A and B are shown apart, each in its own frame.
Chain A
Amino acid sequence: MSQALLLNLLFFLLGLPLVSAMLAQFISEKYRWLNPLIAVFLLLLTTITGISICVAQWNEAPVLLEHTWFSLGNYTITAGFYINNVTLVMVSVVSFISLMVHLFSSGYMAGDRFEKSYYTMLGFFTFCMLGLVLANNILLLFIFWELVGFSSYTLIGHWREKAIAAKAAGKAFVINRIADLGFIAAILILYTQTNSFSLTEVTQLTNEFWRNAAAISLLIAVMGKSAQVPFFNWLPSAMEGPTPVSALIHAATMVVAGIFLLIRMFPLFSPEALDIVVIVGSITALLGALAALHQYDIKKILAYSTISQLGLMLAAVGSGAYGVALLHLFTHAFFKAGLFLSAGAIIHVLHQAQHTAHVHFDVQDIRNLGGLKKMMPITLVCFAICSAALSGFPMLSGFQSKDAILVSLFNWSGNSWRLIFTWTVVVSFVLTIVYSVRMLWYIFFATAKKTSLLRVSEAPGILRIPIILLSLCSLWFVVSVHPLEYNGWLLNSIQPAKHYLFITWLSMILIPTLSVIAWWWYKSKELSRVYPVLKNGFYLDRVYDKAGKNTVLTLAYTAKKSDQGIDGFIHVLAYAQVTFAHLLAWFDKWIIDGGVNGIAWMARQTGALARSFSGGKIQTYIFWTTFTLIIFLFWILF
């Protein structure tokens, strides 16, 4: 493709969601039905553009299109696009998932009071996410990185009357901000060292110390955005937003921006830094899976699962197989979005049913659900496919990507201390199977509990289409034709991974076996009690409240106090001044009367003259004047 055409297409790609965002604001209330229509249409165009660019540019040499942006000192900063295979994968994923979510939203959000701003922010988010993956320099990337955070903030807080949603939105933004200090630090280091922001130039930093510092700083930012330990607690709370938003932002696209960043900046990471990445990733994977196992809320289960899966991707990058990470990112996007949208469909349908039946309970709580198998068969099939993909069932895309992760991790660890972390990942794989089964069982197969009170029917078609499409995309062929082969079109063009057939076969046997055991386990017993520490995400919220929020608030009130202190000091100064003035005036006038009463008295006794005016002041004036004069003279002379 010629560069000019490519550039135009890219502008088209970026412009369409932005246009969608703006149009949503300008359509009047009367024609509000146009909103979803236009948005879906424009997103469809976006997706077509994105995929055609992807197809056209696939396996071409990386393209850098840039233009002068501004200059700092003697250095010129450019803005533009950097396109390689990684970008192309991301563009397709983002635009496709966004389309699906838009489509889903047109049913899900119909009649919402703030539909306008919903579509605006959804469009804006898509624009920013595409910008993020296309950016040619780290500053531009950071700008979009923060802007997707902003979109996430407004979308989590979409239901404005829900106070808890606003709190969750704020929490998400602030925690990401804290982590983003790492990003800023990295930018500062890279710019200072290389006088550039360009991705291709900053990654060539040679100074060992600064390179590691920048890498670690970036890792902190990634840990925030991709919800890693210890920053992950914002993601479960973010589930307060509309479910399609969770699917798009908090599962398939925004949270994987961290992984994308790691892949982009991969050359900057030394082996030591990569080790840290694996450690962070594997621990998160384990903790996320453990927490997911102990949730009652469908969306919370999915959120913790996402955290866990993101940890896997991090671990994959850390093991050096960034292509594998991208592969998992790719497969995960589909099945996780599918899961979320299915959950959304269930929630939607149950809400509608509740409305007609006038029964109210928390429809997201799996303890209240069950028996949906018969009521929503199509949703069940889709949900089952996606969760099977999540747990890594053979014949599904999840199997391939997970297999690749395991292989690369074992490759990485060899026979060293690193094996601990590889096995941590393995454990989290097992746990994934367990919680997937648990979720599936309690929603669909367990005996209907409160759901039995409702008349539930299958979700409307507009909700079903995206779910079906996404579950189709969770099948093996998106990765490669061979269901056990992960080096398909994607990995072969990015970073082919080695095979280790033993692992592949083992997991092919083990995963279904484990699933069956888990299935049997859940079938045989009632919902077990959960550990509060896991249910509450390791009390991270509380720790932050205690250690972070309270400290900051205490500091804030200290600042306020000290301000009053400064003011008090100023007032004391003013009072001192006034007091001094009092003193002087007093001295000037009254000490004379008070201090030398005796003299005044004597004066009154002796001088008849004095009696005519008040208090014999004049004598005392003269006395004091003379006195001062004498003091003065003494002072000067001695």
Chain B
Amino acid sequence: MQGIAEKLEWIQLSLGYFLPELLLCVSVIFLLLASLFSKAKERATDAFALTFFIGAFVLSLLQYSEVSSTIPLFSGMLQLNNFSTHLKILIDLAAILTVLLSYSQKERKGEYYALIATATLGAHLLVMSSNLVMAFLALELISLPSYALAAFGFQKKSMEAALKYFLFGSVASAIMLYGMSMLYGQTLTLDFASSTFRQAIFDNQNYFLVISVCFVLVGFLFKMSSAPVHPWAPDVYEASTTPVVAFFSVVPKLAGLGILIHFIQALNLGGYSSIRWYVIISLIAILTLIIGNFAALLQKNPKRMMAYSSIAQSGFLLIGAITLNEQGIAVMLYYATAFLLANYLVFWYIAYFEEQTVVEIADYAGVGKTQPFASIMLLIGLISLTGLPPTAGFMAKLFIFSSLWTAYEDSQAIIYMMLFVVGLLNTVVSLFFYLKIPYQAFLKAESRTLTIKKSILVNLFGIIVVIMLLVLFFMPSSLMGWLNRINFAL
């Protein structure tokens, strides 16, 4: 055991690398207090929240230059590397976008942002975790505010959804905890980045290990809303407010993905593992892709549809995790970025139309004629999610599938080819449902007249994101080049 002095030294050393998280801690407290004491004006709260998240974003960004290799923090509870930094940046970006998206939210702003900040903090910690207990704590730190956020519609439906979410989440956590304890039994350490852990894994390549790892994965996959632990997502998405859904569809997903990759990377033993973990992940990815895409086909509610879409997208993200090499991870991060932008663009306009009482997909009939600009923006977002040129989504899919192809080329494992084919064919399937809204908007006649509330802010945001999506297509090197220069040694 470490002595107290040693621990203090750790803390002292680590704090310098912990600034974004500290800022998030401060923001949680500040936002709560602000709402308690000053009854601050809504716009002021928005501004504070925005400032904090931008601050966290900038601080995370700065960590890029500081970190060249993996740095253990807090006695090895956390570890900071460029991979987690990038995910943190994306998470912060998502938080900023959520704040912007929550612009029209009226009630309990302070608490609301505090919850978001807490979840963001949890996500930060989760992607940095290198210890199973830490991972568990971070995961719960995301989960608990999420349950509360799910209830933020303040309707019976959202309460019910929140409760479902909570119950499902607790079971997932329980299973994960059980898996962790089993893993501890075998390795006698919780620090999965340590050499002890690796040695123990190397010595115990057996079915028991597989079972315990699968149990642990349940928790991570739950956060990613991957099959088979996805069923909570549609109910929750449908019942929650749109900004919260947008947040749910990105932040916990990226956080779960981060820890999953870290964890599997550790288990893979640099390729010396005799258990082929990539087969398990591939199977999960195939299952997730099929369930997500096919189940989305029949949805009539845009948010429910987007829930399945996000399930499907986590399938694509998992493809990035399968190759387990630097290139695969860089590509996955590219995909995550493209997904984040397009996803927010879509939710942004779903919220925009929701305000005009366009709630179900059928309600979109004819809006393409009355509100062509907004409809085109929505269309571009959906195209990017489908993965058609000239949007970032296409490049992302191209890279993802290229990475899968190279993996196949190297290993000749048929599972990769299966995943490749399933993934691409699912792209066609996904077009069915992604086109549903534009189909209604442009091809159907208007069924009723809407009161149009034009918002410059919304469209400004739309244009910026669309430009980014286009830039990521036409100049993929703008991001990919950067990602490639970063050392992703985990």
Contact = CB atoms under 8 A, between A and B. Distances in A.
A and B touching (Cβ–Cβ under 8 A): yes
A61 interface: no
Contacts of A637: 207, 210-211
Contact of A628 (B163, B211, B228, B279): B228
Given A585-B295, A617-B235, A618-B168, 12 more contacts: A578-B298, A580-B294, A589-B231, A613-B164, A617-B164, A621-B231, A624-B231, A626-B171, A629-B228, A633-B211, A636-B283, A637-B211
B401 to A, nearest CB: 22
A469 interface: no
A617 B160 CA distance: 11
Contacts of A582: 298
Interface string A86-111: 00000000000000000000000000
Contacts of A614: 160
B150 interface: no
Given A577-B429, A584-B291, A618-B168, A633 B210 contact: yes
Contacts of A581: 294-298
Looking at chain B's contact residues, the main secondary structure is helix
A613 B298 contact: no
Contacts of B160: 612-614
Given A636-B210, A636-B214, A636-B280, A621 B298 contact: no
Given A577-B429, A636-B280, A629 B295 contact: no
Given A625-B231, A629-B214, A588 B291 contact: yes
Contacts of A618: 163-164, 167-168
Contacts of B175: 626, 629
Interface of A: 577-578, 580-582, 584-585, 588-589, 612-614, 617-618, 621-622, 624-626, 628-629, 632-633, 636-637
B210 A613 contact: no
A633 B214 contact: yes
B232 interface: yes
A624 B172 CA distance: 12
B257 interface: no
A614 to B, nearest CB: 8
Contacts of A617: 164, 235
A-B pairs with the 8 shortest C-beta distances? A628-B228, A581-B297, A581-B294, A584-B295, A613-B160, A618-B164, A618-B167, A622-B171
10 contacts: A578-B297, A613-B164, A617-B235, A622-B168, A625-B171, A628-B227, A628-B228, A632-B214, A636-B283, A637-B210
Given A577-B429, A625-B228, A588 B295 contact: yes
Nearest to B299: A585
Contacts of A577: 294, 297, 429, 432
A291 to B, nearest CB: 63
Interface of B: 160, 163-164, 167-168, 171-172, 175, 207, 210-211, 214-215, 218, 227-229, 231-232, 234-235, 279-280, 283, 290-291, 294-299, 429, 432
Contacts of B214: 629, 632-633, 636
Contacts of A622: 167-168, 171
B230 to A, nearest CB: 8
A588 B295 CA distance: 8
B231 A588 contact: yes
Contacts of B298: 578, 581-582, 585
Contacts of B210: 633, 636-637
A408 B197 CA distance: 109
Contacts of B211: 633, 637
* B172, B228, B235, B280: residue with the most chain A Cβ atoms closer than 10 Å: B228
Nearest to A631: B228
Contacts of A578: 297-298
B200 to A, nearest CB: 20
Nearest to B156: A613
* B227, B229, B295, B299: residue with the most chain A Cβ atoms closer than 10 Å: B295
B354 to A, nearest CB: 23
Nearest to B163: A613
A621 B232 contact: yes
Contacts of B167: 618, 622
Contacts of A625: 168, 171-172, 228-229, 231
A223 B423 CA distance: 61
A629 B218 contact: yes
Nearest to A574: B432
B418 to A, nearest CB: 15
A621 B297 contact: no
Contacts of A612: 160, 163
Contacts of A585: 295, 298-299
A624 B171 CA distance: 12
